[in-house]
Amino acid sequence: MSNEIKSIHEFDFDLICEYYSSLERQGPGSPEVTIKALSFIDNLTDKSRIADIGCGTGGQTMYWHSILHRDILRESTCSGFY
């Protein structure tokens, strides 16, 4: 039997959740990186709907909400986050 992971479906996402749950930010990035990521989205309008899939604790989601002033659908694979 091999310990090699053959597909994403075999990966234990709980390892990521466990690691980030002990950190202050509980995920990678920063407000600056979040703004940069947002800048890559063309044609964002007041009617655009936003979903943050895999948001973890939602640090970037809350930041987007604070600057965009709109609801954002969020979903995390880590229970106990956000």
Collect all residues with Cβ–Cβ distance below 8 Å to 72 and sequence separation of at least 6. Answer: 50, 51, 52, 61, 64, 65
For 30-65, write each residue's pLDDT tens digit: 888 888 888 898 888 888 888 887 777 777 888 888
pLDDT at 24: 67
pLDDT at 25: 63
Are the C-beta atoms of 64 and 72 separated by less than 8 Å?
yes
Mean pLDDT of 7-15: 71
Nearest to 82 by CA among 59, 50, 52, 49: 59
- Of residues 61 and 8, the one with the higher pLDDT is 61
